[in-house]
Amino acid sequence: MVDLSKLSTEKRNPHTMSLDKMTPLEIATAMNTEDYRIAQAIALVLPQIATAISWGTETLKNNGRIIYIGAGTSGRLGLLDAVECPPTFGVDPDRVIGLIAGGHKAFIKAVEGAEDSTTLAIEDLKAISISKKDLIIGLAASGRTPYVIHGLRFATSFGCKTIAIACTENSLIGLEAQLAIEPLVGPEVLTGSTRLKAGTAQKMILNMISTGSMIGIGKVYQNLMVDLMQTNEKLHSRAENIIIEATNCTSEKAKEVLTAANGSVKLAIVMILLNCNAQEAAIKLDKANGKIRVAIT
């Protein structure tokens, strides 16, 4: 039997001992109050998150991949962050990858015993042919999930940079990684339900790492997503609005130049700001490693 008694994520929250007697408003208020602790806990690990962003940027610049590994809620959060990167930043789907214990089917239904496997993560990492260029980020609220422990151990021995994100201090996965990010959010409102505060903390940290890394490789100009994929009508409109915001041009001009740029928002912005054609803008961007701010100065 696994001893969970010492894990902060498994302790009882003294502020919600009467949870079953609370009114709906009292439940919402209690949860909202506890959620304030998440940002406070993350504030204490910002230097580690900054390092993770630097590593992520370096990895992507060197044509490596950011690979999340986790089980249950943690695994689903990794998958969620990974699948949102292509439409937001225009990167290939294999640049940020999520691996979950039990495979993609475990995203919608738990696979019994998968998180306790000491070999599955190794098999999953081998299946995607990891290389020393890749950054492996292990996620486990409790910090003790065998799937993640052995995945990080294998990745480290393979020569990859490794990061662990847990919500317990001196976690087992943290000991396996080169960098440990451990926000201590405290006991859950519902004892042991780490899909709550711990899950939110992990999601917030993944938001920072992936967004920060993408900013580092030039996927953002000012605070605009200039490499978004235009996969629906809303995103076509957003693309035009981004060009307008970045250049102060008219709607007609944005549409005209976006067409000339073959749908590339980034290219269209440089064309307008430098008053040049698509080929000249592409050369400028290439020399600037894809960064608009560098290209236009």
Neighbours of 118 (CB within 10 A): 12
For 248, residues 6+ apart whose C-beta sits below 8 A from its C-beta are: none
Which residue among 10, 58, 84, 245 is the active-site one?
Answer: 84
70 φ, ψ to 5°?
-170, 175
DSSP state of 171: -
Assess whether pLDDT exceeds 60 at residue 118.
yes
Antiparallel, parallel or unpaired: β 66-70 and 135-139: parallel
* 260 closest CA partner among 245, 250, 270: 270
Strands of the 179-181 sheet, one edge to the other: 96-100, 66-70, 135-139, 161-165, 179-181
3-state secondary structure of 197: helix
Please identify which residue in the block is written with the tokens 């949860």: 31
- 2-55 residue pLDDT tens: 566 668 889 999 999 999 999 999 999 999 999 999 999 999 999 999 999 999
The yes-or-no answer on residue 115 being catalytic is: yes
- 251-286 residue pLDDT tens: 999 999 999 999 999 999 999 999 999 999 999 999
Grade residue 185 by pLDDT with cuts at 50, 70 and 90.
very high
Q: Report the pLDDT value the prediction gives residue 116, as an integer from 0 to 100.
A: 84
Strands (E), the chain: 66-70, 96-100, 135-139, 161-165, 179-181, 220-221, 224-225
For residue 74, what are its two tokens? 């943690």
The yes-or-no answer on residue 26 being catalytic is: no
Which residue among 115, 176, 188, 240 is the active-site one?
Answer: 115
